[in-house]
Amino acid sequence: MDKEIVIIGGVGCGSGFSKSLIQKLLNKEFYIVAIARSDSGKEELVNTFSDNPDVEFAWGDLNDAAFLENLLDRMEKNIGVVSGYIHNPLIIALRPFLECNVQDFEDSWDVMVKTAVTVSSILLPLMLARKKGTLIFTGATASVKGNAGSGPFAVAKFGLRAFSQSLAREFSPQGVHIADVIADGIITGNRAQQTFNIPEDKCIKPDALADAYINLIEQDPTCWTQEMDLRPARENFKKPESRQDGNKMAKI
């Protein structure tokens, strides 16, 4: 086999974004490797693509270098070349700062930033050798604005954005496209309704967001986007206030 491979680090359930992204990538004839920390809650997503030979699900830790190296070695020996990586791991803990502890900040950094560092350190040498590849990091409103009660999340998303900028300045001249997508809004799905109580018409549609990622992957090197800022038309440029019914936490 000689296919171009796109790896999605951190597939989840609820918003439908992972499903849309996988389908859009399949439409472009990529082979997709979707990585999650566990298969818990992923049954519907896995079943959707269970009969497709160009989709593979893997369960592992994105901070585990040995796991990643073994996966990449197998992919490049048996499938083709890894031409793209999309970084989506997420942990959201919304609570007042005085109810947080240092571990909350460390957990957020480990899940969203340390994983990006680990994956990039392994993927970049492969892409640099070919002078071609795309790394896309998924950001949020908190990438540019720290709201009350979102300290751990904001620190991690700010850090991820800074990391993407540093990588872009270092590796874009060598042929690797580094992009950060600031999704300033909540993606349509269970979390939007159950956690934030936001009507669907004020959310980001998964298919529309996935289209933006495909656009980044296909951009000509003479016109690369480093940072893409996206929001629904009805978004008022403010992060929605969480409901006052206890702490909110979500993981992918």
Mean confidence (pLDDT) of the chain? 90
Structural domains of the chain ordered from first start:
3-251 (3.40.50.720)
pLDDT band, residue 76 (cuts 50/70/90) = very high
Reply yes or no on whether the pLDDT at 244 is more than 50.
no
For 72-84, what is the mean pLDDT?
Answer: 97
CA distances from 59 to 35, 91, 178, 243 (A): 6, 17, 25, 33
For residue 250, pLDDT beyond 90: no
Within 10 Å of residue 173's Cβ, how many Cβ atoms?
8
Which three-class secondary structure state does DSSP give residue 22? helix
Res. 240: pLDDT tops 50:
no
Q: Is 153:93 a contact under the CB 8 Å cutoff?
A: yes
Contacts of 10 (CB under 8 A, 6+ apart): 35, 36, 37, 62, 87, 88, 89, 90, 115, 252
pLDDT band at 242 (very low <50, low <70, confident <90, very high): very low
Q: What is the DSSP string of 187-236?
A: BSSHHHHHTS---GGGSB-HHHHHHHHHHHHH--GGG--SEEEE--TT--
Q: What is the pLDDT of residues 178-229, one digit of tens each?
A: 999 999 988 887 666 666 777 888 889 999 999 999 999 999 999 999 999 9
